[in-house]
Amino acid sequence: MDSTSRATSITQLGDPGSEEAIVSKSLFQRAMHRLLRDRLTMIAAVILLILSMLALFGPQITQYVLRIDPNTTDALNRMQGIGSPGHILGTDDLGRDQLARLLHAGRVSLGIGFFGAIISISVGLTLGVITGFFGGIIDDIMNWVITTLDSIPSLYLLIMIAAIFRPTAESLIFVIALISWTGVTRLIRGQTLQIRNLDYVLSARALGASVWRIMFVHIAPNLISITVIVLMRSIGGLMLAEAGLSFLGFGVQIPQATWGNMLTDAQEYVRAGGIHLILPPGFCIWITVLCLYVIGDGVRDAFDPTSNK
């Protein structure tokens, strides 16, 4: 090989975008490379980030920028349409500013989805790895518990709990999370059953690695991709569950606003010219859940070792 060819080869290998450099990277690095090149996933991530920031800093925005209290009523300015003076998204039946309530409601709705999903994923990941790795009687007992819980319709169980205890955002997070971990546990258990018999796990056993090290150092990191996918879908699913409970009257109670109960409260005013009460919270729920699902699909494709994207 002459000096020119050798220099060209070195340049290609040093180029982070070249195929040789990509192949030499770790699985995580290759996945991130694919993910950053996925425009649809990146657009969804940016939209979700913007919505999350608006919701997170909603109280500060309403207090210092809009200078409006979301719970202040104004009977003289009730049912104002979009673009009315002083109210960008109009007002509701009590004269409360829709934009201020939407920002506060997003904080609650996204919080229910995010923290509820974190709890259910944490429980499901831990139990799924343990039952899938040990098997035997532990697996049998866990399967019996999961089958028993899954035999009770989730919506029916939520309605019963909400009818007994007045639901707040905090209590609803735990209630929804603690009945949604079973599906995550089943999925993680199945993945663990496949991974525990792979060569590198058997080698770690032969070298004397402890059981807990094998489970949470060698097996759990290989479940990151499926965990992220389930997390994205769980956040969207829990947000929809909260909206469904609000529609039935068992969600977070007023005056605390969520996108779900805003949508529910607005339905009786549609024929009275209150279409502006339906569109903003409905759009926020739709675009957030859509972005979460798109990000989940993007992560799945990025971590797929057979993908050529």
Q: Is residue 161 part of a domain?
A: yes
The arithmetic mean of pLDDT across residues 81-104, rounded, is 86
Residue 14 inside a domain? The answer is no
308 in any annotated domain: no
Amino acid in position 230: V
Q: pTM of the entire structure?
A: 0.80
**Using an 8 Å Cβ cutoff, are 298 and 44 in contact?**
yes
Task: Note the pLDDT of residue 305.
Answer: 58
Q: What is the arithmetic mean of pLDDT over 78-87?
A: 83
- Residue 209 above 90 pLDDT? no
User: Bigger pLDDT: 173 or 1?
Assistant: 173
Q: Tell me if 19 is assigned to some domain.
A: no
**Residue that has been written with the tokens 């569950």 in this structure:** 241
- The CATH number covering residue 260 comes to 1.10.3720.10
Task: Tell me the pLDDT tens digit for each residue of 211-239.
Answer: 888 888 888 878 877 888 888 888 988 88
Instruction: Give the distance from CA 279 to its chain's centroid.
Output: 22
- Name the token pair of 307: 């993908």
Mean pLDDT, range 144-170, rounded to an integer:
79
Q: Is residue 7 part of a domain?
A: no
pLDDT digits (tens, 9 = 90+) for 169-180: 788 888 887 788
Domain that holds residue 100: 26-69+89-302
pLDDT at 7: 44
* Residue 251 pLDDT greater than 80, yes or no: no
Q: Is residue 307 part of a domain?
A: no
- Looking at residues 48-68, what average pLDDT do you find? 90
Q: For residue 290, what pLDDT band results from cuts at 50, 70 and 90?
A: very high
Q: How many CA atoms lie within 13 A of 141 on its CB side?
A: 7
* Residue 295 pLDDT > 70: yes
In sequence order, the β-bridge partners of residue 97 are 91
Residue 285's pLDDT is: 92
Tell whether 112 is covered by a domain: yes
Residue 2 counted as domain residue: no
> Is pLDDT of 44 > 90?
yes
Closest to 98 measured CA to CA, from 135, 62, 122, 142: 62
Total domains in the chain come to 1
